[in-house]
Amino acid sequence: MGNWTRRGFIGSLSGAAAATAFAAQERSSSPVPAKGKIKITDLKCAIIGRNPVVRIVTDQGISGYGEAESAKPYLKPMVLFYKDYLLGEDPTDVNRILLKIRRMGAFKPWGAAVSAIEIALWDIAGQAAGLPVYKLLGGKIHDRVRPYGNSENNSKLVLRTPQDYAEVASEVKAAKEGYTLIKLPVGFHNDAMMRSIPDAWYGQQWAGRMPPYMDRGMMTQPGIDHVIACVEAAKKVTGAEVGLAFDCGPGWTPKDAIRLARAVEPYDLAWLEDLITGDYAPYPNAQVFKEVTDSTSTRIHTGEEIYLRENFKDLIETQAVNVLGPDPEDVGGIAELKWIAEYANLHGIQVAPHGIFDGLFGVAAQVHLGAVCPQNYIAFEYAKAQPEWWTDIVDGLPDPIVKNGYIDVWDKPGLGITFNVRAAKAHLSEEDRTFFD
């Protein structure tokens, strides 16, 4: 960046940019560096609540944070594996660092470590430049971003019957966030629902400690009728005012997926998600998705488990789905997802990023990402503070975060949020007690 002196750097800016840069310096407890390139001196990871949180430390007193979803506390050693590849690097050379480490990730869950590191790097780059991350990614297209709600973060009721679906749809619709789009789990994405009736499908019911979403097979008539009845019940509640999507699998056979998609065509659903592959499936299976997509007017969605742009290539170029849902904390980061969104846009495919358990730093990353995505962007899956005390240990988020179904894009440097260190330290385990030192 050239001269890093406080007066020299800010003096090179003017107006709002100078004010923003000064605010960024005041945010940090350490002075802005005098001269020379900024360098990474440490990479740390702590489990806060259940979320693995990445901290990248620099020699100029600036730290950047990223977060992986709460379902993956086991990722901590994987994050720390990359430490030797980061030490001594300039964190503002995000692309250079990602070229070094991105090849050592994989489909969900093993791309999450690289993704959280990428987000933390952009946080540092923004703070160092005195600019919000969205400015470094090309600048705003959207002044506000739409989050969508889900049952897991908005209801404690277990979904089994059509009556349950009506009740939960009503709860999410009435949430204080004012969601204009909500998503519910059905079919193989909801064990409780599938096992609430006998013999919902022809196949084994997996039990015990198994990888997620092992159940799959051909639906019986009672099974598919039950799924359709639950979709109908939820749609009667949401009506035309609130969009409704369903996370369905993976696990469906192609013919059953087509039967379901055609049966729900009258309800104009936002999408049916992950019917063929999805969570923890290490391949996209574009050809089979295309068979389903070409057979129905219902929108078909997938992508949350996929890592890197290369693995979206067939889905996009063959127009195998209507909507893609990469997770910025699994796909390789926010710049990676922006590239995918732009390429999808060239092929008439919409984008609705996944992110249900990505935490508050995940929400911040989603806001900056949503601001720069092209006009094929729909909404992102909203992650609430879990546990609720997370709201007490993070500074910088608006209150409330969501207003009338949208989040206004903020202009603070970096991700625009940081830890209240004193409050956060109370929630560190003994193993992680030096995370903020």
**pLDDT tens-digit series, residues 97-107:** 999 999 999 99
| Distance (Å, whole) CA 144 – CA 147 | 10
| Distance (Å, whole) CA 338 – CA 323 | 14
Label residue 207 exposed, middle or buried (CB < 10 Å: 0-12, 13-18, 19+).
Answer: exposed
pLDDT in tens, 283-315: 999 999 999 999 999 999 999 999 999 999 999
State the chain's mean pLDDT as an integer.
92
Given this model, what pLDDT does residue 34 score?
29
Q: What is the pTM of this model?
A: 0.91
Query: What is the homologous superfamily of the domain 6-131+423-432 according to CATH?
Result: Enolase-like, N-terminal domain (3.30.390.10)
Residues 417-427 as b/e (b if ≥16 CB within 10 A, e otherwise) read: bbbeeeebeeb
Label residue 225 exposed, middle or buried (CB < 10 Å: 0-12, 13-18, 19+).
Answer: middle
Structure tokens at 420: 């209240």
The CA-based diameter of the chain, rounded to the nearest angstrom, is 73
The one-character DSSP state at 265 is: G
CATH architecture of 144-414: Alpha-Beta Barrel (3.20)
Sequence-distant (≥ 6) Cβ neighbours of residue 305 within 8 angstroms: 107, 108, 277, 278, 279, 280, 281, 282, 327, 330
pLDDT in tens, 343-366: 999 999 999 999 999 999 999 999
Taking residues 224-237, report their average pLDDT: 98
- Pick the closest to residue 190 from 162, 170, 209, 171 (CA basis): 162
Given this model, what pLDDT does residue 254 score?
98
State the span(s) of the chain assigned CATH 3.30.390.10.
6-131+423-432
Given this model, what pLDDT does residue 4 score?
38
Peptide bond before residue 250 is cis, with ω within 30 degrees of 0: yes
State the span(s) of the chain assigned CATH 3.20.20.120.
144-414
